[in-house]
Structure 1
Amino acid sequence: MSEHSGLHIHHDSGAPQGSTDYTTLILLHGFAWHGAIFSKLPPLSERYNVRVVLVNRRDYPGAAPYPKKERALLDAAAAEVESEPAAARAKILSYMEYNARDLYDFLVDFVASNDIPKAGVKGPNSGGIVVGGWSFAGGWMLALLAYAHSFPVGEVDPGTYVRRVILYDAPFHVCGYPPLNGDISGSPLYDPSLTQEEKIRLGPDYASGYFKHPNFVDALERRTRRTSPPPSLSTMTAEEGASVLYAPPVDVDGSDCILNLACPPSGAWAVLREKALHVHDSESDAAPSRSWDAVELTYLWGDSTVWEIVWGVHCMKQTVQEAKTAGDKIRRVTFVRIKDANHFMHWDKPEDTVRACLAATSELEEVVIGSY
């Protein structure tokens, strides 16, 4: 987009015709599937008065590769995470601060280049920017909230435009939580009993399947998919499947693969979560901008998604409740659930997805979108 950011706009729906109070929805993709996975959302722009901007992260199509310095940090962290986790954590946090600055600069450039309506131009849920990170990119959202207040402010302060940051069906480990009962074997992606070939074969149907979870978290369904609907990825044509997938960053030496393996044991995700939740408005805080303290953090999830996300939602609710009980000063945190939605809700339920991203929220009660 500019010399200041290595991110790439895969698609921009543009402003809804004639609207002066539309909201700009900026979405970052997750692990392996790039911005094209959201391709069913831009056609809904006019109907929902939203400008949909699909962004590819570094190392994905159209975006810049990581600079050698940042990639070296990541590789060094991976090499020492077992022997020196604290040193690895510091390197990964520096790497994620770089990613946060990359996204921050993207937002600055986008606001400066587009005459977008300011937040609240015609009411609390109008105008401004909603930025979300799906799945693995939830880590980018936590990093943005953790570090944005410390970045220098020029003519554009993006914090005055951003209304909401969304953890969009983010798994527990990206939010810095341990697995349920210490067990990750339910996911083909991590099951130590499976070969790499088996993981590759089983992973897509697992990640895009539908699961029926009980109301108590200790018994979340880890393995057996519902027979209907079918996994989202299995319904795609060969051309559609090829158009949304980009494997190099998730290969064994790819940046996303290395970060995904090194970050949890280092403890860096948990640090980012705590930094993201707590506001920075003390009298002694010399941060360039405190506008980010007013930005809401929303955890958006589908109740038929994989257990890793349901467990993450449960853990985040506990964290927020404990912080409030302790009297900690945290940002506004809300939860939005889409009924009968899986991890690929933007493919199978695009209208519910847009409605959920833009929904009026409440701190007192989870907002529920859609119907069974």
Structure 2
Amino acid sequence: MPLAPVDAQGTQYYYEDTGSPPGSTDYTTLVLIHGALVHGDSVSNSSQHNIRLVTLNMRDYPGSTPYTDAELTAMRGPDRDGQRTQLHRRGFEIAAFVAWFIRNENIPPFTLNGNDIRGGISVLGWSWGNTMSLSFIARASELPKEDQEFLEAYMRALVIYEPAPHSSISAVSYFDEAHNPLRDQTLTPEQQATAFPLWVSGYYAHSRVLLDSFASLTREEVDLGLAMERVENPRPHQIPTLQRLTAEEIAATSANHVWARSQVLYQPDFIDLELFRENTRAALQDRSVWPRLRVCLVWGDMTIGEVIHTSWDIARRRRIHVVRLEGGNHFPHVDLPEQTMRVLAENI
């Protein structure tokens, strides 16, 4: 079981690694951070694109060190500073993992010669995982100077992939809406559990005006263009992803037991959402450390409404490269693996 040390207290992260592409000495390493409850996600044929994939499990997820009781108490609040400290620590842990992996695996550094870009390491957060990757980038200026300079030679890109509302910048959050079954208080817990997989992995036909204009629209215009219900009479490939996977496939990458213990603590009922916004602003606005770092937003145009809304909120900021993944829902790496891998390879 591959484990990496991420602090001086013995905390470890479990990870999986495809290894370097055969015969390559200038590949790019892509570290993937999973979403809530689903871990170990990957995309296929990375070696064909000269990419080495590393999937990282966050705390409490299989193989990685569980949160301590003291950490859970701090995350549960109500002390805002305690919650902020915990969110920041996840960023420092990822920084420690990235530095450890670079040294342990001797990966090729980032080189830039005109349009010829080779080597280096990129970090991708998916859905809720963006809160973790953004915390890592937001903590860059707080790392020891020697760590900043060491990582500068490798840091290539931050990929914001299908961001959940935790990654919004605006004070008006999509968390205020009740489209997510897990936040719909009119449903029983059993109804929420049944509705969530169909909702989160469904396909939604948002308006053409919304999809084509996107970042130039107002929030009201975005809201008007969002589809709240899944496509009617879906084609076979538009049946909700989690409805098409086998029970064994779902079980292999699911960690539903994490929800009640720790994952729920990242929801607005517990954590102050302004802490997430602080992280996102710091990550996207401070370019004093790793100025070569490319920030890329990848969103599927048939994904759930709250991802569209969050992507719109982020895309309006400067110096973010925005990529629309046509036909993608919230699980394009599962349903459209080749297309997703090609898009990532072209933009990291």
* TM-score, shorter chain, exceeding 0.5: yes
Correspondence for 1:169: 162
Tell me the distance in 1 between the aligned counterparts of 2:270 and 2:112. 39
Aligned to 2:100, the other structure's residue is in SS state: helix
Q: Which moved more, 1:52-61 or 1:189-198?
A: 189-198
Code of the aligned partner of 1:163: R
Correspondence for 2:4: 2
Deviations 1:174-207 (A, max 9, x none): 3244345x85222212122211111100100111
Q: Which runs of 5+ in 2 are unaligned?
A: 211-221
Deviation at 1:311, TM superposition (A): 0.6
Conserved 8 A contact 2:297-2:315: no
Code of the aligned partner of 1:208: S
1:343 pairs with 2:330: yes
Correspondence for 1:191: 184
Correspondence for 2:254: 245
Tell me the distance in 2 between the aligned counterparts of 1:135 and 1:14. 25
TM-score normalised per structure 1: 0.81
Code of the aligned partner of 1:358: A
Q: Which moved more, 1:297-306 or 1:154-163?
A: 154-163
Code of the aligned partner of 2:106: D
Q: Which moved more, 1:184-193 or 1:118-127?
A: 118-127
Correspondence for 1:11: 16
Deviation at 1:261, TM superposition (A): 3.1
Q: 1:339 to 1:66 in 2, by over 3 A?
A: same
Tell me the distance in 2 between the aligned counterparts of 1:360 and 1:3. 30
1:32 pairs with 2:37: yes
Tell me the distance in 1 between the aligned counterparts of 2:331 and 2:347. 22
Q: 1:121 to 1:19 in 2, by over 3 A?
A: farther
Among 82, 95, 106, the alignment partner of 1:104 is 95
Aligned to 1:218, the other structure's residue is in SS state: helix
Tell me the distance in 2 between the aligned counterparts of 1:9 and 1:349. 26
Deviation at 1:110, TM superposition (A): 0.2
1:333 pairs with 2:320: yes
Q: Which moved more, 1:156-165 or 1:97-106?
A: 156-165
Among 229, 240, 244, the alignment partner of 1:223 is 229
Q: Which runs of 5+ in 1 are unaligned?
A: 81-86, 282-289, 322-331, 362-372
Aligned to 2:25, the other structure's residue is in SS state: coil
Q: Which moved more, 1:219-228 or 1:112-121?
A: 219-228
Code of the aligned partner of 1:302: G
TM-score normalised per structure 2: 0.86
% identical aligned pairs: 28
Correspondence for 1:132: 124
Deviation at 1:120, TM superposition (A): 2.2
Conserved 8 A contact 2:302-2:329: yes
Deviation at 1:265, TM superposition (A): 4.2
Pairs aligned (count): 324
Tell me the distance in 1 between the aligned counterparts of 2:286 and 2:291. 5
Code of the aligned partner of 1:344: F
